[in-house]
Structure 1
């Protein structure tokens, strides 16, 4: 069975409903058609069927006892396809579409069926005119044609029926229209009035219009200018007259009028329309006036405009960044100068989506946050949030406190986002610096060789304590967070807690030496002696917020000093003798010092001789050997040239040796006048002096940032110069030098066992020079720092064997130590340790 689409079927059923024929009483015209159809087709049954949503209903039923069947059993429902030819079923028992139909298998046992669809003027199939027989039969062409003509006659009757129904309804509507119009004018909430004739006599007016005019219904029957004289000089009478004369409607939005209400003039706003009224002959006989009082809206809009102006002024003058985005696209609608400075853009971005105007926000959380606020209506507040913005052509990291708040329209719908932001980059960076400082402070506290604790608030809560002071107290770190009176109850009746309160109240530092304290250590009360300080910590307002306690346990020293005092008397008798011995020893030291001075003078004289008297003959040997080489360049005997080259090379080595010995002598004898020097600057100067060698060898240097130390600038330059020169020199011929200079801050406890600085201090600077050269066997480590010691032949690697001895002497002059580590063919590392 054909099943039309839902939309198509809805339209067909609506068309069928418009005929108002379903379930109507039998009518003779339809009965005549079915009787004629049965006679022409010689069938016992003829039907006019109409198919609705659930059934087929018979308008005329000839030969059957029932008036309707379910739609799914209907033969006529197959005609809904609006076929151009009749549907003929000669034997339904043999037709797959109908052989199981209850009307075939049961009463009335239909065998033959022929039906013509009822097609109305709009092309909708309403049902069919059909004939039925209980035996097999056929219709000839004339019978089928007659059946079609009769079906068209059924449609004609239905069409006439619908037209008559429509006309009756129209007449009824027309009669009710006038009454409704009269009632409408009076009942409508919209102000309405009807004026008749050129004089604009008020025929009808409803209460809303009277309220606008400020009048009562006594104005009915009067001309408009008489009833409302205050309209004189206002444009309304002329506008009405123009509509009456031309027939052209007039519409005006938010027109202003002056009216008199309760004897007082009042200014009102309204939307009003003047439309001509036309009689049956098409002549204008009056004007209908419809008005809507918009005074409240106009006043509200004016107030809104004023508020908007005030809002814009507030936005422009606000010290914080404020912006307004519109719609889901987040179009920039409004912003003050501060927001444009924050974004790093100009006002020209107004009117553009924010993701387009500020593309660097892509991939950051802000666009998604705005979308969430727009969807949910829940504001978002950010605290010190990092944003990456392009400002002045470069990407900057900026921190903001900001809020995204939904903006709602008058209907309560979210229409945009309000942005408020404050640049807190300075505060965040300051806070980060404070946190880093606090971390450094805590590390210093933990690493300090003496006890440190911090007590906060007037109740003296322990907020910080390093392991040293916790051990001094004989406690564990569990005491942190407790009041000191609770953590160390044994301090009751001792002066320490009262002293802390005095320092907290007065802000004055308290120091004490050799102070005894009774502490509960390992389950028993022990007396310990301390040197300690109570230092007040002050905030930005000058208020004491905590106390820093620094303490050193001097118990062993104190007890030793007590023993020393007890033994003091025994040694007083020896004082005189010791004094004599000291005087004698002083005289001996004075003599030795004079001898040392004479020795230094002699060494200085030697240095002069080495630098002048020894160097001068060497320079002459080199000069004359060069001249002989030029004069004998064409000498037939090649041995002569080889002898001259050997003389020049020997003189050059001798000159280098004299220079190195001179340097070694000066390093050994120079009086030390140390000052603060930058090791990074010294290293940079050395690298610059070796520039040509670095370029020639294509060496790679990696130099770490070096610290500031106390020392002699020229000696330290000699030290680093010799180390780098060796690293550049002792490489294979085809090898590219790779040198790393590293720095580490070492405590005395971390020094290797073989390192013995000449000065003992808590911390040392370790500068390491690592190369990828030929290396050496560590069994020769003790030799390489001795004068004239070389592990390689002179023909392979030039040198005097004095350079590393100079390095060792410089390091020892500075109170440090030098050592080295290496493997043959794997490079070497020289480590210099200088006091920090």
Structure 2
């Protein structure tokens, strides 16, 4: 029959010392209901047995099955437990399957606590019952205190922006998942299921192999800037980047649980990528600016190129340990004076070792009063509303000089009110992440962006000046591209050599048919194919005129130089100066 477990965040926890030393067998049960019918109690999950109960029933401390699956012949005891749980009153009954023993059962919240005791003689019955009642009362009182502490820690983990989960055993079954971790995987159900089964996509990413390593060695492992794609199929969103910490928690020298902590580092990664991109653009712009003035001064080295077109019971101390080891600053304040009730090592590092338990924030950090942080705490305590601050500058006194630090730290922080069962604010949880590196990276990116824009403007100005220079020089300059020598640029002096002709966009042989006769096209072919620079002291060129004008014979001193793109010859730059006649008249 399909079963469903009643969800509960207050599973019973009894101190190990009391369980181990008690002569009474103590068992903790959790009711199981029929799937789809939460009103029909059909079995009990056996949460935990103390040593005395383990010896009586021959079961381990944490049985893996339900009561009826482990003791199928004990239906009378099950009916007694079921009646006692539903009635909500303590009751006792002799056990037919354990002659000489009786069960004392009492409902405790959503659970059932059962004490197994020897059947006493009438004269001893009252005393033994009183002793059993006292032991049960002490266990219930200890459980209530531990449950309250555990609930407070769960509230802390539920409101942290970091993603946290607990995994148990070699199958890595999810014991606890906070909302931030569940959101990483689209909110799918995780608790109670093996990681490989519920997250099949992580197998190819080496996630399970990494867990195996931590589980086998017990060594903490850090993994920085891990990309996680969107959990929604077909999503076009860019991946997010997370810093992961994997830590083993040992029992008797062996790993029992693994904790996984992840913090979103997407902004830091994108800021660094943006900085690198801007640096490359700036370097390119700077190189272009440096080269532009030299292109005419040193034609052998520079040519004019056209522009290219991502439930089991856990001990309270484990959750406390997680808070201690979070790579973030965590503190809790109590009362209207905001006295320190808890802080982890990360907070003490951020506070330069000045935090003290029991002391008000304003007394230990008077500089924060002037910066408005204590006023925020006062408002939260009065209104019961949380407060989220992003990239807030904060300056603390330096321990050596006693003066405010010259440069502020930038923090993201969450102030979350901690309320009693009656809804009254009793304290405030502070969760703080130092984002100074991210803010400085963004500031650097903005500075580089501004510098790149200025460089682009200067380059445009230089380009305009260069065009002006080429337009007024007496030398005829042209650029041809590709094996057909297509004209991509001609200055006014070059156009005056061939008046009335449309040159741009046409091949040299088409625009200047006389260039074929006088081997100018052959010269361009040679330079384009070999990359060699060629100089002709005086090339005669018969230029056909339009209208009734006679053809003109020009003598041109021509320099042809190849320009390259991506390591390949892309075209030829041509510089021509008119000379007075053949070489024998003026020398080479």
Q: TM-score, normalised by structure 1?
A: 0.24
More helix by share: 1
Query: Which of 1 and 2 has greater Rg?
Result: 1
Q: TM-score, normalised by structure 2?
A: 0.32
